[in-house]
Each structure stands twice: as structure tokens, then as C-alpha cells.
Structure 1
Amino acid sequence: MTDWRAVVAGFLTATVLGLIGLTLPGVGQLAAGLIGGFVAGYLAGGGLARGFWHGLLAGALGGILVGLLIGLFVALAGWAAGPAGGMATGVAGIGIFGASVLLAMLFALESAIAGALGGLLNP
């Protein structure tokens, strides 16, 4: 069963450290994902697989939320172009959201690996 408290704590940790990490492009974002995943895995405990799962969820949550917001913005922006523009950008918004979910899962792998380590350290 998923411990959502651990997932949210890991997500918030990664978000705050990611905002601070903007001063060190690349390195700051990587460290934020690793630390956020570790926090989620450690708080969830229960071993390697449980930590991996919680780190994956914490790492992917941010990307999914950002993708949803960008997809909605693109879809809503098309209303200014009338019905045809609204339909075209609505389809584009759905595509953007789908692509961002796939990218979020790809980028969440680092958080998942760190979460597995955190879960291993808190059996």
C-alpha cells in the first residue's frame, strides 16, 4: 500500500531543493531529485522495492503536475482563436500532457533509485 505522506514529503523536498538548485543548473536539479526520492523511500521504509516505488511516485508527481498545467494552458489558449483553434490546441494540450507524463516517469528513475536506497536503510 502506498504511503502518500512519504510521497508528498519527498515531492515537497525535491520541489524546495529544486527551486534552490536553480542557482546550480543541472547539478541542483539532479541533487533535488535524488534527495527527494531518498526522503520518500526512507519515510516509507519496508525495503528495496517499497522504497523504489515511493521514490518513483515522488519524482514523477512534479512532472505530471507541471505537464497537466502546461497542457491545460495550451488548451485554454486556443479558445482565443475560435472553435477551430480551440479544437486544435485542445488536442495539442492532450498530447503535451501525455508526453510530459512519459518524460516524468523517465526522469523519476533517479528518484526511484535513491528511494530504493532510502527504503533499504529503513527496513
Structure 2
Amino acid sequence: MTNWRAVGIGFLVSIVAGVVAFTLPVVGHIGAGLIGGFAAGYVAGGGIGNGLWHGLLAGAIGGIVLALLFGLGAGFIGTIGAGPVGGFVGAGVFVVGVVIAVVLALDSAIGGAVGALLAR
């Protein structure tokens, strides 16, 4: 059974760490996923599989929210600067962001497994 409190805590940690991660673009986002997943797995406990699941959920939800915000922002800026074609810029950024969010959710799952392992 999914512990939504653990997922919510991991999600919030991922969002905060993801915003801070813009100072170190690649390393920071990987670290943000690991930290958020670790928090979700630690709160959920219950073994490696349970932590993996909760970390994956927290990372995926956090990554999709960040991708959505980035896509909307890029679309708005693109529309202002490039006229009617600018909206496609935001759509492209959003699609790439969702793909990256799904890939980065995997490191959240790893962090969740470690967090659940250490919660024992």
C-alpha cells in the first residue's frame, strides 16, 4: 500500500532541492532526485522494494511538476519573443522535460531504496 505522506514529503524535498539544483544543472538535479527519493523511502520504510516504489513516485511527480512549470514558462517567453511560433518552443521544452523527469525518477527510486534500507 502506498504511503502518500511519504510520497508527499519526498515530493516536497525533490521540489525544493530541484529549485536549488539550478545552480549545478546536471549534478544538482541528480542529487535532488536522490535526496527526495531518500526522504520518501526513509519515511515509508518497510524494506528496499517499498522504498524503491515510494522514491519512484516522489521523483516522478516532482519531476513532472517541474517540467510542467518549465514548459509553461518557456512557452510564455517564447510566445512573447517569437510570435505565434513561440508556443511550440514551450511544448518542446515540456516534452523533453517530461522525458528527463521520468529518467531522473529512476535515481529517486535508488535513493528511496537506500532510505528504506537505512530506516530499519
What is the TM-score with the length of structure 2 in the denominator?
0.71
Change beyond 3 A, Cα 1:30–1:71: closer
Counterpart CA distance in 2 for 1:66 and 1:36 is 14
Structure 2 counterpart of 1:81? none
Structure 1 counterpart of 2:114? 117
- Post-superposition offset of 1:42: 0.4
Change beyond 3 A, Cα 1:69–1:35: closer
* C-alpha RMSD of matched pairs (Å): 3.1
Paired residues for 1:98-117 under 5 Å: 100-117=97-114
- Name stretches of at least 5 consecutive residues in structure 2 with no aligned partner: 76-89
Whichever residue aligns with residue 104 of structure 1, its letter is A
Aligned length: 119
Q: Is residue 2:7 matched to residue 1:7? A: yes
Q: Answer whether contact 1:11 1:59 (CA < 8 A) is retained.
A: yes
Larger radius of gyration: 1
Q: Answer whether contact 2:30 2:104 (CA < 8 A) is retained.
A: no
Structure 2 counterpart of 1:63? 63
Change beyond 3 A, Cα 1:112–1:67: same
